[in-house]
Amino acid sequence: MNLLLSDDYLLQDYPENITNTIRSGHTTCLRFNRKGDYLASGRVDGTVVVWDLDTMGVARKLRGHRAAITSLSWSRCGRYLLSACQGWRAVLWDLQDGTRYREVRFRAPIYTADLNPWDHNKFVASIFDEAPSLVDMTSPSDIKHTLPSAPKRTNTDVDAATKEKQAKDDAKQMTTATVWTATGDHILAGTNKGRFNIIDANTHEIIWSEKICSSVVTTLRLTGSGRVLLVNSQDRIIRTFHLPNLSAENLDPDTIQMPLEHKFQDVVNRLSWNHVTFSATGEYVAASTYNNHELYIWERNHGSLVRMLEGPKEEQGVIEWHPHRAMLAACGLETGRIYIWSVTTPQRWSALAPDFVEVEENVEYIEQEDEFDIHPQEEINKRRLDREDEDIDVLTLDPSKGYNDEADGEGFRMPVLFNLGESDSEEEFVAVSTGTVRRRSLGEGQEGEAPEEDKGVAGKKTAAAKGTKGRKK
């Protein structure tokens, strides 16, 4: 029944207006899980909030960072969530009980951290002014493998001056974005000089390198199939590339080709793009704009702009597209709110009753012969008892639309959180008295407050100070 009521396959494939606005602190990044029933958001104060999209309420809060969250990544099963922050650490959370499963420390802030799609004990991280790192947490002590950033050189027969110049250029290469391929065998990396590297996850060496843009690569995204790559860079151009099958047995790195599919840009206004994402099917590309409040949506087949979403009058940062529905989530840079765009589904009364028919105008009703016959009370009671004897299945869950549970086994379901203090989301305004509200401050009501004992001591000191002032007067 629920699937029938929410069935929107006859509607358009991209969202059109804001349907929800949620808030918990100041959000800096977002990420949907693979199943699409939870949305993870990272805040400026280091708290990670998991939202239940059915109720639009907070399902869990994870506290362990002390700086702004920069990256989020879900495991394939949905049980583990990796969060990275500017405080030089990455935490892998176990959502079964909300505890820290593993914690890894680095020597610099982290740009991005991405979990292996098939092994939640491995992730790759791009680090500020440091070489990217492949972290293996299978053993009790984590193992870090340093990955190269310098491009692969094919021309070895060059003079000494050229080699010295290439060595200086290679020393300036820093990886700014990393992502796993769909199979988890290779790592795709972008650098601050516009280079794109394909790294073998087993040998930790670059097998192919190419210059794809003229500026810093900021975002790398793959479609669900892993065959199309989306690249955002600071040269104000969004590019899509066709990826070859890197898992082929007879793969020759020297013959790898990655043809350019489309370039998306605003030629008139010359806008820069904060963040980019693919749609659920990979047919559309969405982007948030720098110093602008509009979201752009392009269609990939023809490379044409199909929609400009106008919402709140504030600049949008990270945007994410729902993995199975026409839904976009974006976080505002000024207020930190999470705005959700989706398709407005029209009411379908025929889904409630199979024999209900919607008509455009009045239709003359023809009465059936036995429609208003009076039946004996005994027969009515017998029919009612027969209907009560029918077995109704209230335990089997309807499969989520677009998600294949049989292919991945039994999916993880987050336990119900009974602690209301952990589940309540923070409202923007706090009630002071009847009919009076004030705006909540940034750090109010958070974990960083002083303990009760310290507050008591502080209160006594304040009272003593006030008494001293009174005696002086």
* pLDDT at residue 272 greater than cutoff 80: yes
Q: Going by C-beta distance under 8 Å and a sequence separation of 6 or more, which residues neighbour residue 118? A: 76, 183, 184
Render pLDDT for 206-239 as a digit per residue (tens, 0 to 9): 999 999 998 999 999 999 889 999 999 999 999 9
The amino acid at residue 104 is V
* pLDDT at residue 47 greater than cutoff 90: yes
Tokens of 142: 């984590």
Q: Percentage of residues in the chain with pLDDT exceeding 90?
A: 49
* pLDDT at residue 423 greater than cutoff 60: no
Render pLDDT for 21-35 as a digit per residue (tens, 0 to 9): 999 889 999 999 999
Q: Where are the beta strands (DSSP E) in 157-283?
A: 175-180, 186-191, 195-200, 206-211, 217-222, 228-233, 238-242, 260-264, 273-278
Q: Which of 341, 351, 280 minimizes the C-alpha distance to 7?
A: 351
Residue 207 dihedral angles phi and psi, to the nearest 5°: -100, -20
* pLDDT at residue 10 greater than cutoff 50: no
Segment 249-268 mean pLDDT: 88
Q: How far is CA 41 from CA 56, 338, 367, 413, 471, in A?
A: 13, 9, 57, 18, 52
pLDDT at residue number 368: 78
Q: In 3-state terms, what secondary structure has residue 327?
A: strand
Count how many Cα atoms sit within 13 Å of the Cα of residue 162 in the half-sphere of its side chain: 6
* pLDDT at residue 364 greater than cutoff 50: yes
Q: How far apart are CA 449 and CA 44, in angstroms?
A: 16
445: left (phi over 0), alpha (psi -120 to 50) or beta: left
Tokens of 464: 């003593």
**What residues form DSSP beta bridges with 329?**
320, 340
Q: Percentage of residues in the chain with pLDDT exceeding 70?
A: 79
pLDDT at residue number 433: 56
The amino acid at residue 322 is H
Render pLDDT for 314-324 as a digit per residue (tens, 0 to 9): 999 999 999 99
Burial of 351 (0-12, 13-18, 19+ CB in 10 A): middle
Burial of 241 (0-12, 13-18, 19+ CB in 10 A): buried
| Biggest CA-to-CA distance, the chain | 106
Place of tokens 């949620």: 22
* pLDDT at residue 153 greater than cutoff 60: yes
pLDDT at residue number 180: 95
Among 190-194, 218-222, 424-428, which stretch is predicted with the lowest mean pLDDT?
A: 424-428
Q: How many residues does the chain have?
A: 473
In whole angstroms, how large is the CA radius of gyration of the chain? Answer: 28
**What residues form DSSP beta bridges with 327?**
342
Render pLDDT for 54-109 as a digit per residue (tens, 0 to 9): 888 888 899 999 999 999 999 999 999 999 999 999 999 999 988 999 999 999 99
pLDDT at residue number 85: 94
Q: Which of 242, 241, 243, 287 minimizes the C-alpha distance to 265?
A: 287
Segment 362-367 mean pLDDT: 83
* pLDDT at residue 458 greater than cutoff 50: no
Segment 182-196 mean pLDDT: 93
Q: How far apart are CA 308 and CA 374, in angstroms?
A: 60
* pLDDT at residue 398 greater than cutoff 80: no
Segment 420-425 mean pLDDT: 52
Q: pTM score, two decimals?
A: 0.77
pLDDT at residue number 54: 87
Q: How far is CA 19 from CA 285, 329, 341, 343, in A?
A: 20, 10, 6, 8
The amino acid at residue 35 is K
Average pLDDT, the chain: 82
Burial of 71 (0-12, 13-18, 19+ CB in 10 A): buried
DSSP string, 100-115: EEEEEE-SS-EEEEEE
Residue 293 dihedral angles phi and psi, to the nearest 5°: -105, 5
